[in-house]
Structure 1
Amino acid sequence: PGYQVRLLDPHGNPVPTGVPGEIYVAGNGLARGYLHRPQLTAERFTANPHHDIGTSTGTTTGTRMYRSGDLARWLPDGTLEHLGRADDQVKIRGYRIELGEIETALTTHPHIHETLVTTHQDPDGHRRLLAYLVTDTPLTP
C-alpha cells in the first residue's frame, strides 16, 4: 500500500499496455537516495510529475520517483512482464554491477586500449564476469 509502479517512455510519458517502458516506483517508503552517492541519486531519483496519482494515504504530489533501470510491459491481464535492463547493469551473487564502470577502470591501464565486459553462465548455473581486452603489448599476470 502507498506505492505506485509506472512504466514510462524515455520522455517520462506513460506507455500503453503491451509497449515496453522503464519501471519507475513512487510512494511513501521511497528512499531519499543513495548514501554518499549524490550523482547517482540525481540520476535515479527524479521528481514525480504524475500529480494525479492517488494512494491510500493521499496523493503523490511533490514526491519523487525511483528510476529502476528495468524494462517491462503491462500485459492485457494487468500482469507486469519484466523484459531485462535498460542499461549494462547485471546482478551477480546479489551484487549489482555496472559493466561500463569495469570497462572504464580497465582502460586506465596504459597498455589497454579497448575492453568489453560481459557475463557468462557456467554449466553449474553460476554467473561470472568476463573481460575481453585489446592491448598494445602482451599482459602478464
Structure 2
Amino acid sequence: IAWLQHAYPLSGQDRMLVKTPISFDTSVWEVFWPLSIGASLVVAKPGGHRDPVYLAETIAAQSVTAVDFVPSMLELFLDEPRAAGCTSLTRVTVGGEALSAQVAHRVADILGVPLHNLYGPTEASVDV
C-alpha cells in the first residue's frame, strides 16, 4: 500500500470504487490504500463488478476518480457507451491478466486518463 501511494499518489479528494469481491487479493488495496490517506470509498453492490452498465453509471453518479480492472473487464467496460461519460475518473489501474495495446489505446481515446498496468500477482505481492 505504501508503494502504491508512493508510485501513484491518491489524495484525500479521491474516490476509489471498491468493486472487487473481498476474497480476491486486489480488494485489500482497493479498500486500504484510499483509507490510508483519507480518500473516500464508493462500494459497489454485490456482483456489480460484472456489470459494465452498472459500473459506468456508478462511476459517473458517485464521481469516482480511481478504479481498478482486470483487462478483460476493462474491455467490456469500454464497450459500454456510458463509459465515455465517466469524466470524474483521473486514473485507471489494471492487473491480473495480459493487457493488449488495443485496450490501452481505447482507455486513452474513450476516458482520456492515465492507465497504469500493475501486471499481476507473484509469490510475494498482489501487483508489481
TM-score, length of structure 2 as denominator length = 0.24
> Whose Rg is larger?
1
Higher helix share: 2
Higher strand share: 1
